[in-house]
Structure 1
Amino acid sequence: MLRTPGAWTFLAPAFVARLPYAMLGMGILLLVKDTHGSYGTASTVAAVAAVAQALVGPQTGRLADRYGQAAVLVPTVLVHAVSVGTLIALALGHAPAWSLFLAAAPAGASVPQIGAMVRARWIATFSAGGATAAPAAGIGTAFAFESVTDEFTFVIGPILATAVATSVNPAAGLAAEAALTLVGGLAFAARRRSAPARVERAPGVRQASALASPGVRLLAGAFLGVGTVFGSVQVSVNAFADAAGQHGAAGTVYGIFAGGSMLAGVLYGAVTWRRSVQQRMIISYGLLVLGCSTLWAMPGLVALSAAGLVCGLAIAPTLISGYTLVETLVEDGAKTEAFTWLTGAIGLGLATGATAAGRLVDSYGASTGFLVPVAGAGLGLAALIALRGLLVPPGTRAAAAGAAERGAPARPAVAAEG
């Protein structure tokens, strides 16, 4: 896959641009906690940024499908750099909390949707020769690689943000996030040759939103649960490390959690699976709930790191399965938007989880924050099990119904087996 002509020309700048995604929440948390003295306030500011990203991100994905990635990326990263700079200035000036919320909203809304755009480029690259088994297999491998890359950024990002913020000053982590987003985003936008073609629409014809698909809505709800795991674990790990008197260890503990996911993503992409991707999604999500249920009972940082590693092993398989499924549920002109709905759902869940965990930590102690990922992921699993029929692509459902009427077995779609 990595020998695909032109792949590295967009993968390298994309890595630089997506690394800050994992730094933004941690950077806000560290800065606002230092300047305003409350995990509740800090997690709420981070939550505002995440909610804005969740709501606006899919709209930027929709615009990228229509007008091209570069036309959307360039103004987006410029707005992001200015917004983060404003947030830093307000926090250091000990401005009222409401002003931090106002600054966090555009900072989150302008987070570039690099992961979704890279996935759209892989689809365009492998689908150029037509819909065959080989491109479908390539897309499946590419999505596994992208999930590993995402998790690698979640390993490095929190550690980098924590290290810079604690060794230089609390604002330096956010400043580094803005600089990397700007440089990486502009470099990625400049690689126009690998970008998918703009979707030309007939006059007067309105493109249906990817969210019109019931399967996309179900996956977005499931990814919302995954986001609550990210947000609540991030806040709770920081509070737990603080309570243990080892604040600098928070980034490392969270990095181990993400490292488990990265390891699982590598293994997932190396296996030829016999189970359908729908079954793999439900199984990996169930394992995520099981892993999260142990975090609250850990007595120390070492035990928490080990439990986080085990919990993280279920993250990448869940994300890979979800992104593979959503690609089969929407038309070509809405794929970037569909990916951003899932990414946005993670951001919204991150906001919800971070806020809930922050309030619990302030009121009842660090360990209680780890109850939030169990609740969030548990609700996501219940929805997946109850509505799993929506994860089958519409064409496959129709073929299965027709085959059942004829008394013949239906053949699953190639992409659904990726």
Structure 2
Amino acid sequence: MSSYLAVLRLPFAARTFATALIGRLSYGTVVLSMTLALASGRGSVSRAGEVVAVFALSVAALAPVRARLIDSRGIRRVLLPLALSYAAALAGLAAATWRPGAPLWLLEGLALAAGATAPPLGPTMRTLWRTMCGPDQALMQRAFSLDTVAEEVIGISGPLLVGLLILVANPALGVLLSAALVAVGTVAMMTSPVISTVTVTAARTAKAPATAEHGQKARRTGSGRTLSRILDPLSAAAGVGIGLGAQSLAIVAFAIHHHQPSAIAWADAGMSAGSILGGLAYGAVSWRVPSRTRLPLLTAALGLSIATAGLAPNIWVLTAIATASGVFVSPLMTCAYLVADELADERSRTSAGMWVNNAFNAGSSSGYAAMGPALARLPLAWCFTIAAAPVLLGAGVAQAWRRTHTGQRQEQPTTETMPEAVAV
């Protein structure tokens, strides 16, 4: 625990991190709040699904563009306008859903506007961690582990907060709360002196002399170049997202098959608890193995644990296996973000983190959708094996890419007491 206190004792770290978490909590509350607000009264679940789908698709589709703007224009000039625009769109959606009867085109338009301007607070915070930690690789690993665990906690606490809120208030209030959280958190985050440090550094980089080598490198920089540099963390994150999305639906089918649907919550809680504990333990350990080597190993371990779930005889054994699987999730994503940051170009680190995050989210949705047909045609045990397959494939691709592209950027040698870590 003292290692994490050292992270928070960095100049302005606790202040910056706390304000970022306030804003990021919005992402833990907005989807459920939006769904409940749209489906309440004379609304319908199908109508709510349409509007939420528009929101989710616009968030994902334009995420790399928003991250690229931050890399090229600076955090202060881009993040605050995005956050305030996002909050305004959510406030409009809350007003439109306060009473039933708003036309579908208006709801979808507001959802599209909100999704298009959703501020990338997570990738931006990881960029700030790199600035605050400097060259201390061990400290960087702990900072990113803490950040990933915090995201896991937000994923749990956000829906719980909405659940409590709707007991006493209109569901649209949850959408308004999401707007307030992101506005207050981002405005407070902008007051951190770390933001100014990053802005000054970016400005100096942009004004550096345009030598022939620099010009050639700048022309190669872009989304395609970024993706080619970070293929190992990208493939691992996508495989893990597909596998976890597929596994979540397989767990639902398993619980229903054993006539214990209420136990689904226990399996989900077990995986979340395992992820939190695993993330905290991972960040505190001084690893001798380089991060790019650890990434495929962690991914393969998760894939094997998902496949093992198919052997569970009852829901309680499945819950135990899910908890053990969760132990690898936060460490794996922490490692993926760190590797992406190490391999990315100096001017595209926010974009690199966003691509990894997007690969995981897109994979999760795809895996959930693809598991439905598999459950209808195959034995349940085989479905868990199918869920594990993309995770193991992602591990294989990450390992192969690492071996053939180790010259992209030399990994720093490890020491007896300091892990060779990377930054995200």
The bucket for the TM-score relative to the shorter chain is 0.7 to 0.9
Report Cα offsets for 1:238-291 as digits up to 9, x if no partner.
8888997977x8777534422211110111111111222122111111122123
Alignment partners' CA distance in 2, 1:174 and 1:393? 47
Counterpart of 1:116 (choices 115, 123, 127) is 123
**Alpha-carbon deviation of 1:66?**
2.5
Q: Which residue of 1 aligns with 2:273?
A: 259
| CA pair 172-338 structure 1, distance change in 2 beyond 3 A | same
Cα deviation for residue 411 of structure 1 reads: 5.3
**Deviation at residue 21 of structure 1 after TM alignment:** 2.4
**Cα distance between partner residues in 2 of 1:27 and 1:223:** 27
Q: Residue in 2 aligned with 1:36?
A: 44
- Contact 2:28-2:158 at 8 Å conserved across structures: yes
Other-structure match for 1:151: 152
Report Cα offsets for 1:48-67 as digits up to 9, x if no partner: 43443233222222222222
Q: Are 1:269 and 2:283 an aligned pair?
A: yes
2:78 counterpart of 1:72:
yes
Aligned match of 1:191: 192
* Distance (whole Å) between structure 2 residues aligned to residue 84 and residue 278 of structure 1: 39
User: Does 2:305 correspond to 1:291?
Assistant: yes
Structure 2 Cα separation of the partners of residues 26 and 241 of structure 1: 23
Q: Are 1:126 and 1:138, in contact at CA under 8 Å, matched by a contact in 2?
A: yes
- State how 1:314-353 maps to structure 2 within 5 Å: 314-353=328-367
| Counterparts of 2:381 and 2:30, CA distance in 1 | 24
Paired amino acid for 1:341: W
Q: Which residue of the partner structure matches residue 394 of structure 2?
A: 380
After superposition, the Cα gap between the structure-2 partners of 1:231 and 1:9, relative to the gap in structure 1 and judged at 3 Å, is same
Q: In the superposition, relative to structure 1, how do residues 386 and 392 fare at CA in structure 2: closer, same or farther (>3 Å)? A: closer
Q: Give the aligned partner of residue 404 of structure 1.
A: none
Distance 1:107 1:187 in 2: 20
Q: Which residue of 1 aligns with 2:4?
A: none
Q: For residue 294 of structure 2, what is the aligned residue in structure 1?
A: 280
Q: 1:370 to 1:142 in 2, by over 3 A?
A: same
Q: Which residue of 1 aligns with 2:222?
A: 209
- Whole-Å Cα distance in 2 between the matches of residues 7 and 233 of structure 1? 36
**For each residue in 1:204-257, what CA deviation from the matched residue of structure 2 results, as whole angstroms up to 9, or x when unmatched?**
96561254142313422322233335555667778888997977x877753442
Displacement of 1:85 in angstroms is 4.4
Q: Check if 1:126 corresponds to 2:126.
A: no
Task: Identify unmatched segments of 5+ residues in structure 2.
Answer: 1-6
Q: Which residue of 1 aligns with 2:69?
A: 63
| Alpha-carbon separation, structure 2, partners of 1:175 and 1:44 | 20
Question: Any idea what SS the aligned residue of 1:394 has?
Answer: coil
Indicate the residue corresponding to 1:19 in structure 2. Answer: 25
Given the superposition, is the C-alpha separation of residues 220 and 352 from structure 1 closer, same or farther in structure 2, using an over 3 Å criterion?
A: same
d(CA) in 2 for partners of 1:331, 1:104: 33
Residue 2 of structure 1: which of 2, 8, 12 is its match? Answer: 8
In structure 2, the CA distance between the partners of 1:43 and 1:90, relative to structure 1 (3 Å rule), is: same
Deviations along 1:364-407, whole A, 9 cap, x unmatched? 9x99997874354344234223333256361328xxxxxxxxxx
Instruction: Indicate conservation of the 8 Å contact 1:36/1:94, yes or no.
Output: no
TM-score (norm 1): 0.77
CA distance in 1 between counterparts of 2:111 and 2:407 reads 37
SS in 2 for 1:197: helix
**Contact preservation (8 Å) 1:50, 1:350:** no
Q: Return the offset for 1:4.
A: 1.0
Partner of 2:139: 138
Q: CA deviation at 1:105?
A: 3.6
Alpha-carbon distance in structure 1 between the residues aligned to 2:104 and 2:409? 50
CA RMSD across the alignment: 4.2
Contact 1:155 1:256 in 2 (8 A): no
Aligned identity (percent) is 26
- Are the counterparts in 2 of residues 325 and 391 from structure 1 also a CA contact under 8 Å? no
Asked if 2 retains the 8 angstrom alpha-carbon contact of 1:223 and 1:346, the reply is yes
Whether 1:224 aligns to 2:225 is no
Gap regions ≥5 residues in structure 1:
398-409
Q: How has the CA–CA distance of structure 1 residues 71 and 139 changed in structure 2, closer, same or farther, with 3 Å as cutoff? A: same
Residue 53 of structure 1, aligned match among 59, 73, 94: 59
Aligned to 1:311: 325
* Matched residue count: 397
Deviation at 1:189, TM superposition (A): 2.3
- Match of 1:19, SS state, is helix
Cα distance change of structure 1 residues 146 and 9 upon mapping to structure 2, 3 Å threshold: same
87 and 210 in structure 1: CA distance in 2 versus 1, 3 angstrom threshold: same
User: What residue is the counterpart of 1:107 in the other structure?
Assistant: 114
Distance 1:36 1:230 in 2: 28
Does the C-alpha gap of structure 1 residues 310 and 42 become closer, same or farther in structure 2, counting only changes over 3 Å?
Answer: farther
1:197 maps to a residue whose letter is: T
Contact 2:245 2:363 in 1 (8 A): yes
Q: CA deviation at 1:296?
A: 6.6
Please say if residues 210 and 330 of structure 1, whose CA atoms lie closer than 8 Å, have aligned partners that are also in contact: no
Determine helix, strand or coil for the equivalent of 2:283. helix
The 3 A distance-change label for structure 1 pair 221 and 334 is: same
